[in-house]
Amino acid sequence: MPKYIATPTRTKEILAKYNFAFKKSLGQNFLVDVNVLENIIGHAGIHKQSGTIEIGPGIGALTEQLAIHSDKVVAFEIDQRLLPILEDTLQDYSNITIAHQDILQADVHTVITQNFAPDQPIHIVANLPYYITTPILMKLLRENLPVDSLTVMIQKEVAERMAASPNSKSYGSLTIAVQYYTHAEIVMNVPKSVFMPQPNVDSSILKLVRRESPPVHVNDEDYFFRMVQASFAQRRKTLKNNLTSHFKETYGKETIGQILEETGIDGSRRGESLSMEEFALIANTFYKKES
């Protein structure tokens, strides 16, 4: 049985060898359980022909498994202190490229064209730094990257919001933002004990599969997302009251009521009861009045 990085003993050895101190500000909670990693890789649908992109390799726990199970790995790591460690821990693998870059600044499109074949299936996989989960995922989704799926370990509560259905406590503007681009599914909840150090929050593995095209037609995407945000601005308020607060500079209260009536959607409902189709209808109707 090979001595994988993702075990408590090996991880402690590596940390001691390099006198490595975790940076909480970079969300450094390393995985020390190979079963969890194999689960992530299995759910992501990775195989020997896949190209894989990892965000935040740490000391290489997940990177090593990706190198074993896929054709090629490109991993983005922001923390310079980890570069010599990764060179050491991953020295047995010739199919890994480490990019010393903040993923939020990275040109992922170019990295994909430079590292993978045009028809190669590409999967993004990560145990994400929890302090910037949402900005990272929204960047990757909005950039329209040619990737088949994104399978990520994130805070459980955030995963529930991204995969939520209408009329649930977790359903909100983040749900719409993520499900506009992808089919979202929580594939597994993960105990704190598989991390070193253990985080304060529970975690889940979320799988996002890119949609061929958005499930609704909107006249203007930014306008649509702003409208969705406005509808959830105060969860306990009705749709009409939230929209009135948002649009009162543009229209009077009465006109807002009239436009809503045109959509056939009852303004006394709350944002959390609206489907993506209903949000699109409202956004498109208001948009037409403005333009």
List binding-site positions for S-adenosyl-L-methionine.
Answer: 29, 31, 56, 77, 102, 127
Q: Report the C-alpha gap between 202 and 104 in whole angstroms.
A: 24
| Interaction residues for ligand SAM, span 82-101 (CB under 6 A) | 82
Q: Which is nearer to ligand SAM, 51 or 60 (CB)?
A: 60
Q: How far apart are the C-alpha atoms of 145 and 9, rounded to whole Å? A: 37
Q: Binders of ligand SAM among 39-58, rule CB under 6 A?
A: 55-58
Contacting ligand SAM within 120-179 (CB under 6 A): 127, 129, 132
79 binds ligand SAM (CB under 6 A): yes
Annotate each residue in 187-226 with x if it binds ligand SAM (CB under 6 A) or - if it does not, as one string: ----------------------------------------
Which residue's beta carbon is nearest to the bound ligand SAM?
56
Nearer to ligand SAM, 93 or 223 (CB): 93
Residue 114 burial class via C-beta count within 10 angstroms: exposed 0-12, middle 13-18, buried 19 and up: exposed
Residue 15 burial (CB < 10 Å; 0-12/13-18/19+)? middle
Phi, psi dihedral angles at 151 (to 5 degrees):
-120, 115
Q: Are strands 30-31 and 195-196 parallel, antiparallel or unpaired?
A: antiparallel
CB 120 within 8 A of CB 61: no
Footprint on this chain of ligand SAM (rule: CB under 6 A): 26-31, 55-58, 61-62, 76-79, 82, 102-104, 127, 129, 132
